[in-house]
C-alpha cells in the first residue's frame, strides 16, 4: 500500500516573502493563543473541571480547565495551558475555540472531537507534527471525566482508548493502536491480529484512518 | 514584530553558525572567475583544464598548510558527511583482514553514527564510547574497549551541539601506547611517516610497505571529525596525532557543498565513490572547482585570524551566557563549561519547548537552533544531549547559540534585550514548573503523567516493521 503524501504548501508571509512551515491559522493561534489561562485561578471552585495529559519527557503537556452548565450539559468555558511546540500550542488554542464558539458545545459533541477535526480547522499541520495535536482532545476528555466523577455520572466516564470501533468483536481504538505499534501497519495485518471489521464492514473506513494515523504517529509520515 | 522586507534582509541576529556560515566576501570574490571564465574541467590537458587544475593545486596547498600536512594527503568531498563516510567505510573495507572493530564516541555527528550502523550490517563491530556529564569521552572505557581487532577509532574534535572539545591528542597517545610504549612518541614515529613523495597515487599502495614493520603499530587508525572545531581549535594533524580528519568549508566562511578528508600518507583506504579516478582514485567525480577555491581561501583566512577571532568570539559568548543566566531563572548549561569551542553556548531553559522558543525568537529575527524533538525530522530529542545524561525534559527546552565571524556585540545585546520577555511569555503558556534539582528523577517512567511512554521510546521498542 502506497500512500501519496500531499505536499502542503508553505504559507508565504505577506510582508517578508518568507515562507513558514505552518499554516496561517497555526501561526495565528501560536503567536496569539486564545482562551489561555493567564493567571492561576484564585479559588479552587472557579472552574468546574480540570484535566491534564502528556508528559514533560515526551515534550507535550496539556492542561485544561472547564466551566460547565450542568443543566444544559454544555461546556461554557475552556481555558488551557500547553507545554510543547508550535503545533501543540496552536492545536490546544484551536480546540478551545471550537468548544467555546457559538455559546459553548454540548458535552456529547465535545467527547466526539477527534484530532483530525482540530487539524482540519488549523488548515493542516506539517505531516511530521500531526502527533502533537492528538493530546488536545485527550485533555478535554480527561477534564470531562473529572466533571463526570465530581457530579456522580460514573456511567459516562470514558477510559481513554476504549471507544469501541467494531461492536461485534468489541475491538477498541486502543486495540488498533496497540496492533500498529506491534508492527501491523496495513488493514490486513491489523485484521489478522484483531479480527476487526470482519463481521462489521461498516467500520473498515474508520479502522483504515486509525491505522494511518497511528502509523504516521509512531513510524513517521514516510512509513508504509 | 513585523518588519518590511528591506529592514529584514539587512538586520537579523544570526546565532546558528554551527549550522552554516555566510560565505566571506574574499571567498566569494576568489570563487567567481571559476564559474564563467575559468570553468574548465581539471582533468583536461588544454589551457582551461590546466587553469582549473592549478586552482585546485593552490587551494589544496592552502588547506595543507593550515593542517600542517602534505597536499597529497587532502581529498575533497561533497560534504563533511561524505568525508566521514569515506573515513569510516573506506578504512573499514580496506582493512577487513586486520580486524572488524570500530570505536566511535557517543557524541558523533550523524555522518559517523549512520555509516557505523551501515557497517554493522556488513559484519563490523561498532562500539560507541559514552561521554560523562561534562561531555568528555570516558577514556577509561575507551582503553578497555581497544583490542587487537580494532582497526579504527573515530572521536569528534568537538560535537556539533555543545561544542565540547575532546582530548584528541590524549586519545592519540592512548592508541599509540596500546601495544606497549614505543621508543619514539606516536606523533613522530607512527603518525608523520614520510614527508617525501606527495603524489596522491601512492596513497593507497604505500600502506602495504609499512605493515611489514609489524601489523600492531599501524592499527587502530585514528579519525577525528573537526568540522565544528576547525574554525577555532588547533587543527595541526601532526600535533594532534590523527591519521584522518574531516573538515568542512561552510562552517568557516566557505561555500556549501565541499568538505575534505585528511588521509595520512600510508593509510590503507578504499574509495566509496567509484568512477573516473579523480583525486588519486580515492574520490571520483569532477572536482567542484569554485567551491574548492573558496574552501582554500576560507581556510587561509581562518588560519591567520583563528587566534584573534577566538578571543573576540569568546568574549561575546561569555557576555551572552552570563547575561542569560543573570536574567532568566532555571537555566542549565549543556556541555563542558570551559573545554569548549569559544563560539558555542548550549543551554536548557526549563518549562518551555525549544521549537516554540525558536519560532518566537525568529519573530524577533533572532536565529538559533534547538535539540528539541519537535525540531528534528525524526521527532527524537537530541541524542548528543541525551548522551550527556540530560533528562528528556531538559533536552526539549534546549537551545543552541553559535556565534561566528559576523556576530557583533550589538547582536548579543539584542538577544539579551528580548530573550527574557519571550521566555516569560512562554512560561506563562506552559503548565509546567520543573525544578532544577529534580534532574535525576524526572525521566523516571513513574514521573510521566498518565503513564505515557514518550513516542520516541515507544518507536524504538517496536519500530522494526516499517
Work out the average pLDDT over A204-214.
Answer: 81
Share the mean pLDDT of chain B.
84
According to the model, what pLDDT value does residue A221 have?
Answer: 61
Residues A29, A124: one domain? yes
Residue range(s) defining the domain that contains residue A181: 161-224
Look at A15 and B5 and tell me if their CB atoms are within 8 Å. Answer: yes
Candidate from B353, B372, B391 with C-beta closest to A57: B391
User: Which whole-number Å values give the CA distances from A174 to A127, A170, A194, B25, B398, in the listed order?
Assistant: 22, 11, 11, 58, 33
Which pLDDT band holds residue A127 (cuts at 50, 70, 90)? low
Contacts (Cβ under 8 Å, ≥6 apart) of B239: B68, B169, B187
Chain A CB contacts of B432 under 8 Å are 56, 61, 83
Other CB atoms within a 10 A radius of the CB of residue B25 amount to: 9
According to the model, what pLDDT value does residue B217 have?
Answer: 60
**A65 lies in some domain:** yes
Look at B372 and A86 and tell me if their CB atoms are within 8 Å. Answer: no
How many beta-carbon contacts under 8 Å exist across A and B?
138
Residue A159: pLDDT over 80: no
CA atoms of B204 and B224, how far apart (whole Å): 20
Residue A37: pLDDT over 70: yes
User: Catalytic site residue B345?
Assistant: no
**A102 lies in some domain:** yes
According to the model, what pLDDT value does residue A170 have?
Answer: 79
Q: Which 3 state secondary structure label does DSSP give B268?
A: coil
Which pLDDT band holds residue A182 (cuts at 50, 70, 90)? confident
Region of poorest pLDDT, from A57-61, B30-34, B297-301, B356-360: A57-61
A38: domain CATH number is: 3.90.1010.10
Query: Tell me: the pLDDT tens digits for B266-295?
Result: 999 999 999 998 998 999 999 999 999 999
Residue B218: pLDDT over 50: yes
Range from A9-18, A57-66, B35-44, B211-220 that averages highest in pLDDT: B35-44
A206: domain CATH number is: 1.10.10.1100
Region of poorest pLDDT, from B74-83, B195-204, B447-456: B195-204
Query: Tell me: the pLDDT tens digits for B103-127?
Result: 999 999 989 999 999 999 999 999 9
B455 touching A, CB under 8 A?
yes
Chain A CB contacts of B449 under 8 Å are 52-56, 61
- Better-predicted residue by pLDDT, B8 or B36: B36
According to the model, what pLDDT value does residue B378 have?
Answer: 58
Candidate from B454, B464, B465 with C-beta closest to A55: B454
The number of domains in chain A is 2
Residues A155, A165: one domain? no
A145 vs chain B: nearest CA distance in angstroms?
14
Residues A42, A134: one domain? yes
Residues A153, A73: one domain? yes
CA atoms of B361 and B400, how far apart (whole Å): 12
**A15 lies in some domain:** no
Residue B249 per-residue DSSP state: S
A34 to chain B: closest CA residue: B429
Whether A99 contacts A69, CB under 8 Å: no
Work out the average pLDDT over A8-24.
Answer: 53
Domain C-terminal end among A159, A175, A191 = A159
Region of poorest pLDDT, from A118-127, B34-43, B147-156, B414-423: A118-127
B99 vs chain A: nearest CA distance in angstroms?
35
Look at A58 and B454 and tell me if their CB atoms are within 8 Å. Answer: yes
Look at B8 and A16 and tell me if their CB atoms are within 8 Å. Answer: yes
**A171 lies in some domain:** yes
- Better-predicted residue by pLDDT, A176 or B22: B22
CA atoms of B384 and B438, how far apart (whole Å): 21
Catalytic hit among B189, B197, B374, B432: B374
User: Which whole-number Å values give the CA distances from B186 to A110, A127, B172, B183, B241, in the listed order?
Assistant: 71, 52, 8, 9, 7
Candidates A105, A111, A98; CA nearest to A74 is: A105
Residues A44, A129: one domain? yes
Residue B328: pLDDT over 50: yes
Look at A62 and B431 and tell me if their CB atoms are within 8 Å. Answer: yes
Residues A142, A166: one domain? no
Whether B159 contacts B135, CB under 8 Å: yes
Q: Which residues of A are catalytic?
A: 58, 132
Give chain B's domains with CATH numbers: 5-20+306-460 (3.90.1150.10), 25-303 (3.40.640.10)
Contacts (Cβ under 8 Å, ≥6 apart) of A141: A51, A111, A158, A160
Look at B434 and A56 and tell me if their CB atoms are within 8 Å. Answer: yes
Interface test with B, best of A58, A128, A221 (most B CBs within 10 A): A58
Residue B4: pLDDT over 60: no
**A2 lies in some domain:** no
Region of poorest pLDDT, from B21-30, B149-158, B353-362: B353-362
Work out the average pLDDT over B401-411.
Answer: 94
Interface of B with A in 381-440 (CB under 8 A): 381, 391-393, 396, 428-432, 434
Residue B244: pLDDT over 80: yes
Residues A128, A199: one domain? no
**A14 lies in some domain:** no
Domain C-terminal end among A128, A159, A190 = A159
Residue A134: pLDDT over 80: no
Residues A124, A36: one domain? yes
Chain A CB contacts of B357 under 8 Å are none
Domain C-terminal end among A159, A176, A207 = A159
ipTM of the complex: 0.75
According to the model, what pLDDT value does residue A131 have?
Answer: 63
Other CB atoms within a 10 A radius of the CB of residue A105 amount to: 19
Q: Match 572545531 to its residue by C-alpha cell.
A: B229
Work out the average pLDDT over A21-26.
Answer: 80
Which pLDDT band holds residue A128 (cuts at 50, 70, 90)? low
**A10 lies in some domain:** no
Residues A167, A143: one domain? no
Residues A174, A148: one domain? no
Q: Are strands B259-263 and A171-172 parallel, antiparallel or unpaired?
A: unpaired
Candidates B38, B13, B19, B8; CA nearest to B287 is: B38
According to the model, what pLDDT value does residue B122 have?
Answer: 93
Look at B359 and A86 and tell me if their CB atoms are within 8 Å. Answer: yes
Helix (H) or strand (E) segment spanning residue B333: strand B331-333
Residue B461: pLDDT over 50: no
Work out the average pLDDT over A120-147.
Answer: 79
Residues A124, A25: one domain? yes
Query: Tell me: the pLDDT tens digits for B123-141?
Result: 999 999 999 888 999 999 9
**A94 lies in some domain:** yes
Beta strands in B5-108 (DSSP E): 13-14, 74-77, 101-105
Which pLDDT band holds residue A167 (cuts at 50, 70, 90)? confident
Q: Match 580494532 to its residue by C-alpha cell.
A: B150
Candidate from B5, B378, B432 with C-beta closest to A83: B432
CA atoms of B246 and A147, how far apart (whole Å): 60
Look at B432 and A61 and tell me if their CB atoms are within 8 Å. Answer: yes
A87 to chain B: closest CA residue: B356
Look at A85 and B372 and tell me if their CB atoms are within 8 Å. Answer: yes
Residue B95 per-residue DSSP state: T
A172 vs chain B: nearest CA distance in angstroms?
18
B386 to chain A: closest CA residue: A57
According to the model, what pLDDT value does residue B207 have?
Answer: 42
According to the model, what pLDDT value does residue B211 have?
Answer: 36
- Better-predicted residue by pLDDT, B287 or A2: B287
Whether B369 contacts B16, CB under 8 Å: yes
CA atoms of B227 and B247, how far apart (whole Å): 4
Amino acid at each position: 500500500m502506497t500512500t501519496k503524501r500531499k505536499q502542503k504548501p508553505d504559507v508565504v508571509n505577506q510582508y517578508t516573502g518568507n515562507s513558514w512551515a505552518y499554516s496561517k491559522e497555526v501561526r495565528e493561534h501560536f503567536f496569539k493563543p486564545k482562551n489561555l489561562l493567564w493567571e492561576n485561578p484564585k479559588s479552587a471552585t472557579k472552574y468546574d473541571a480540570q484535566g491534564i495529559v502528556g508528559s514533560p519527557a515526551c515534550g507535550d503537556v496539556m492542561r485544561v480547565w472547564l466551566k460547565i452548565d450542568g443543566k444544559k450539559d454544555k461546556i461554557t468555558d475552556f481555558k488551557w495551558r500547553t507545554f510543547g511546540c508550535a503545533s501543540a500550542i496552536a492545536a490546544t488554542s484551536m480546540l478551545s475555540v471550537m468548544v467555546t464558539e457559538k455559546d459553548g458545545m454540548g458535552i456529547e459533541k465535545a467527547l466526539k472531537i477527534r484530532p483530525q477535526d482540530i487539524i482540519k480547522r488549523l488548515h493542516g499541520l506539517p505531516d511530521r507534527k500531526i502527533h502533537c495535536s492528538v493530546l488536545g482532545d485527550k485533555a478535554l476528555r480527561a477534564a470531562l471525566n473529572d466533571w463526570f466523577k465530581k457530579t456522580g455520572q460514573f456511567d459516562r466516564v470514558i477510559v481513554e482508548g476504549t471507544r469501541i470501533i467494531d461492536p461485534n468483536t468489541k475491538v477498541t481504538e486502543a486495540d488498533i493502536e496497540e496492533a500498529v505499534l506491534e508492527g501491523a501497519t496495513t488493514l490486513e495485518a491489523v485484521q489478522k491480529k484483531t479480527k476487526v471489521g470482519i463481521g462489521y464492514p461498516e467500520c473498515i473506513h474508520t479502522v483504515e484512518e486509525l491505522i494511518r494515523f497511528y502509523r504516521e504517529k509512531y513510524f513517521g509520515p514516510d512509513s508504509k | 514584530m513585523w518588519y518590511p522586507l528591506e529592514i529584514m534582509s539587512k538586520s537579523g541576529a544570526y546565532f546558528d553558525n554551527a549550522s552554516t556560515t555566510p560565505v566571506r566576501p574574499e571567498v566569494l570574490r576568489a570563487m567567481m572567475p571559476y564559474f564563467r571564465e575559468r570553468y574548465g574541467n581539471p582533468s583536461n590537458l588544454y589551457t582551461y583544464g590546466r587553469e582549473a587544475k592549478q586552482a585546485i593545486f593552490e587551494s589544496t596547498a592552502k588547506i595543507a598548510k593550515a593542517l600542517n600536512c602534505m597536499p597529497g594527503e587532502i581529498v575533497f568531498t561533497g560534504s563533511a558527511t561524505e568525508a566521514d563516510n569515506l573515513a569510516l567505510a573506506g578504512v573499514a573495507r580496506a582493512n577487513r583482514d586486520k580486524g572488524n572493530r570500530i570505536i566511535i564516541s557517543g557524541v558523533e555527528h550523524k555522518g559517523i553514527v549512520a555509516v557505523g550502523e551501515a557497517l554493522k550490517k556488513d559484519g563490523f563491530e561498532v562500539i560507541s564510547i559514552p561521554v560523562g556529564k561534562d561531555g568528555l569521552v570516558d577514556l577509561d572505557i575507551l582503553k578497555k574497549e581497544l583490542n587487537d581487532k580494532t582497526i579504527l577509532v573515530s572521536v569528534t574534535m568537538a560535537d556539533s551541539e555543545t561544542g565540547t572539545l575532546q582530548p584528541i591528542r590524549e586519545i592519540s597517545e592512548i592508541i599509540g601506547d596500546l601495544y606497549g610504549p614505543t621508543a619514539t612518541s606516536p606523533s613522530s614515529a607512527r603518525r608523520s611517516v614520510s614527508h617525501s613523495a606527495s603524489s596522491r597515487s601512492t596513497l593507497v599502495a604505500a600502506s602495504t610497505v609499512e605493515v611489514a614493520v609489524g601489523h600492531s603499530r599501524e592499527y587502530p587508525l585514528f579519525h577525528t571529525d573537526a568540522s565544528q572545531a576547525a574554525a577555532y581549535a588547533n587543527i595541526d594533524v601532526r600535533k594532534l596525532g590523527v591519521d584522518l580528519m574531516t573538515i568542512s568549508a561552510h562552517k568557516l566562511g566557505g561555500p556549501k557543498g565541499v568538505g575534505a578528508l585528511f588521509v595520512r600518507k600510508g593509510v590503507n583506504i578504499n574509495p566509496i565513490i567509484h568512477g573516473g579516478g579523480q583525486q588519486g582514485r580515492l574520490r571520483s567525480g569532477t572536482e567542484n572547482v569554485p567551491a574548492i577555491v573558496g574552501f582554500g581561501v576560507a581556510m587561509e583566512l581562518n588560519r591567520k585570524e583563528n587566534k584573534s577571532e577566538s578571543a573576540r568570539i569568546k568574549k561575546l559568548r561569555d557576555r551572552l551566557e552570563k547575561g542569560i543566566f543573570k536574567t532568566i531563572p532555571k537555566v542549565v548549561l549543556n556541555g563542558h563549561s570551559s573545554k569548549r569551542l569559544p563560539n558555542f553556548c548550549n543551554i536548557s531553559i526549563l518549562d518551555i519547548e525549544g521549537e516554540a522558543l525558536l519560532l518566537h525568537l525568529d519573530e524577533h529575527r533572532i536565529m538559533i537552533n534547538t535539540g528539541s524533538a519537535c525540531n528534528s525530522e525524526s521527532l527524537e530529542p537530541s541524542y548528543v544531549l541525551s548522551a550527556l545524561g540530560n533528562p528528556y525534559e531538559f533536552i526539549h527546552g534546549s537551545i543552541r547559540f553559535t556565534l561566528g565571524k559576523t556576530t557583533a556585540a550589538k547582536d548579543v545585546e539584542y538577544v539579551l534585550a528580548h530573550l527574557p520577555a519571550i521566555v516569560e511569555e512562554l512560561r506563562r503558556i506552559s503548565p509546567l514548573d520543573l525544578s532544577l534539582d529534580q534532574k535525576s528523577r524526572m525521566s523516571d517512567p513513574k514521573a510521566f503523567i498518565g503513564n505515557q511512554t514518550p513516542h520516541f521510546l515507544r518507536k524504538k521498542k517496536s519500530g522494526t516493521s516499517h
